[in-house]
Amino acid sequence: MNGAARVQPVTPPTGPAAAAALSIHAMTSSGAAWALFTRLGEAQILLPAMAAALLWLLRTPSTRPLAGAWLLSTALAAAITTVSKVAFIGWALGYAPLDYTGISGHAMFSAAVLPVLARIAAGRAPRPWPRVLIAAGFLLAAGVAVSRVPTGAHSPFEVVLGFLLGGAASAWALRRTQAPEAPTPGWLAVALLAWMLVLPFGAQPSRTHDLVTELSLRVSGRGLPYTRHELHRQAWLKQRGIASGGSAGRAPAAQVQLQPVSQR
Task: Tell me the pLDDT tens digit for each residue of 73-129.
Answer: 999 999 999 999 999 999 999 999 999 999 999 999 999 999 999 998 888 788 898
Identify the residue with better confidence: 64 or 159: 159
Q: Which of 34-38, 55-59, 190-194, 244-248 has the lowest mean pLDDT?
A: 244-248
Q: What percent of the chain has pLDDT over 70?
A: 78
The whole-number pLDDT of residue 6 equals 52
Domain presence at residue 163: yes
Q: What's the rounded mean pLDDT across residues 6-11?
A: 48
Q: Domain range holding 101?
A: 39-220
Domain presence at residue 249: no
Neighbours of 37 (CB within 10 A): 17
Domain presence at residue 108: yes
Distance CA 77, CA 116 (A): 15
Q: Which of 75-84, 155-164, 189-198 has the lowest mean pLDDT?
A: 189-198
Domain presence at residue 189: yes
Report CA-CA distances (Å) from 197 to 106, 116, 138, 241: 16, 17, 17, 52
Q: What's the rounded mean pLDDT across residues 220-249?
A: 79
Q: What's the rounded mean pLDDT across residues 225-237?
A: 94
Domain presence at residue 150: yes
Distance CA 142, CA 128 (A): 21
How many structural domains compose the chain?
Answer: 1
Distance of CA 142 to the CA centre of its chain: 10
Domain presence at residue 97: yes
Domain presence at residue 72: yes
211, 224 Cβ separation under 8 angstroms: no
pTM, 2 dp: 0.78
Task: Tell me the pLDDT tens digit for each residue of 12-49.
Answer: 445 444 443 333 343 345 678 899 999 999 999 999 99
The whole-number pLDDT of residue 262 equals 43
Domain presence at residue 13: no
Distance CA 245, CA 255 (A): 11
What mean pLDDT, rounded, does the chain reach? 82
Q: Which of 6-15, 64-73, 110-119, 148-157 has the lowest mean pLDDT?
A: 6-15
C-alpha closest to that of 94 among 207, 210, 230? 230
The answer to whether the Cα torsion of 19, 24, 27, 32 is positive or negative is: negative
74, 169 Cβ separation under 8 angstroms: yes
pLDDT at 186 over 50: yes
pLDDT at 141 over 70: yes
148 pLDDT band, cuts 50/70/90, is very high
